[in-house]
Chain A
Amino acid sequence: DTEVTQTPKHLVMGMTNKKSLKCEQHMGHRAMYWYKQKAKKPPELMFVYSYEKLSINESVPSRFSPECPNSSLLNLHLHALQPEDSALYLCASSQELRESYGELFFGEGSRLTVL
Chain B
Amino acid sequence: AQKITQTQPGMFVQEKEAVTLDCTYDTSDQSYGLFWYKQPSSGEMIFLIYQGSYDEQNATEGRYSLNFQKARKSANLVISASQLGDSAMYFCAMREDSGNTPLVFGKGTRLSVIA
Contacts and interface: CB of A to CB of B under 8 A. Distances in A.
A67 interface: no
B33 A92 contact: no
Q: A interface, how many residues as a size bin?
A: 20 to 34
B17 interface: no
A104 interface: yes
B108 A42 contact: yes
30 contacts: A2-B44, A33-B102, A40-B108, A42-B107, A42-B108, A45-B102, A45-B103, A48-B102, A90-B45, A92-B45, A92-B103, A94-B102, A98-B97, A98-B102, A99-B95, A99-B97, A100-B29, A100-B32, A100-B96, A101-B33, A101-B95, A102-B95, A104-B35, A104-B45, A104-B47, A104-B103, A106-B44, A107-B44, A108-B43, A109-B43
